[in-house]
Amino acid sequence: MESEYKALFKEIRQQIETARSRAVLAVNKALIRLYWDIGKKIAENQALFEGRNNYVHQLSRDLHAEFPDIKGFSRSNLFYMRKFYRFYSAGSVQQAVGLNITGNLTDASGAWDTGTSDLQPVGPEELIFGIPWGHHVTLLDRARSIEEALFYTRQTLENNWSRSVLLLQMEQDLFSRHGKAITNFHQTLPEKQALMAGQILKDPYIFAFLTLEPKAQELDMERQLTEHITKFLLELGKGFAFVGRQYPLQVGDKDYRLDLLFYHIRLRCFVVIELKTVAFEPEFAGKMNFYLSVLDDRLKNPGDERSIGIILCKNKNKLEVEYALRGMNQPIGVSDFMITRALPSELKSKLPTVEEFEKELG
């Protein structure tokens, strides 16, 4: 009787948690839709909210007085609502996210593909109304284009990012790095698998959480990456499961070791990462090709797809990499890695040089 009760309690608890999650999502969707509608009203009555007689402050006070128990009607937030509506109802994005000519969200079938790894279309309501308002504010402040905003919206939905994680990914410019590695996937994998695999790679990878000496070796880098495995997995992206470091492979009477071995849950394949603290050399691709052949023969299960190799180098020559991968029959990608994010050129030009520092300090 006790075991039956525990099983029953577990089922009921799961149902309550599921219902609570659905309720939270429904409330968020309703709130974002409300903000959309308010932003639309303000935009359509532009004459009231610009110029000398600006009624935004008056609207904020009146809404607070009418609904004292509801937060979110501050003057700045009302401006964000207008910006939110204007941003997504722009002519260039109407077709992309299913907006009709009047700027109302519809369930149009023309869903926007924002680089998802599973290649499943997402409707406009799930994209626009699916994330919290705080995330939208971050996107409105920082996104440089509709495409970038929708990309981060999709990634937030898929990966359940908090606002701080979204901000971190935007600061590290995931949008520009996503799917940019040089690969031979389209020559070595089926079309759908090649598209999915290409989306999981970045160029460059940013390991700002590492503290390495200038002459650090690969083993030092491996050790620190595994010590900071949570941050490492966040940079790699969703779907990576860590298998091991210096994973052993035996061929004949020789022992070989893979720097880092992962299994990707969505791709259903093993992923080998080889770290090189020097510039790319063509022989790196040959060694990776060998590793993947052995791995597929020894470790791959019947339901698994072909294993994938990722070579992370300090830097690379694009033409050299393309020639090196052209003759390989195993799927390999090559990316750079960075320990710290480089300063923007416009900021770098404003910083004093070492000589100027020395002169100032006497």
pLDDT in tens, the chain (362 residues): 778 878 888 888 888 888 887 787 788 888 999 999 999 998 888 877 776 667 888 889 899 999 888 888 999 999 999 999 999 887 444 444 444 333 444 433 333 333 433 434 455 567 788 899 999 999 999 998 888 998 899 889 888 888 998 998 999 889 988 888 999 999 999 998 998 898 889 889 888 887 766 566 778 788 888 888 888 888 888 889 999 999 999 898 899 999 999 999 989 999 999 999 889 999 999 999 999 999 999 999 999 999 999 999 989 999 999 999 998 999 999 999 888 644 444 545 555 655 665 666 65
Contact of 183 with 331, CB cutoff 8 Å:
yes
Predicted confidence at residue 217, as pLDDT, reads: 73
* Radius of gyration, CA atoms only, the chain: 25
Angle (deg, nearest 10), helices 75-88 and 56-66: 110
- Strand-pairing partners, residue 288, are none
Predicted confidence at residue 105, as pLDDT, reads: 45
As given in the structure block, the two tokens for residue 319 are 């033409």
d(CA 85, CA 44): 10
Q: Name the pTM for this structure.
A: 0.71
Predicted confidence at residue 267, as pLDDT, reads: 92
d(CA 329, CA 95): 40
d(CA 258, CA 195): 25
Predicted confidence at residue 114, as pLDDT, reads: 37
Q: Which domains does the chain have, with CATH numbers?
A: 2-171 (no CATH), 177-338 (3.40.1350.10)
DSSP at 93: G
SS3 68: coil
Predicted confidence at residue 108, as pLDDT, reads: 35
Predicted confidence at residue 118, as pLDDT, reads: 42
Q: Where are the beta strands (DSSP E) in the chain?
A: 182-183, 205-206, 240-251, 254-264, 269-275, 308-313, 332-338
Q: What is the DSSP string of 265-312?
A: TTTTEEEEEEE-SS---HHHHHHHHHHHHHHHHHT--TT----EEEEE
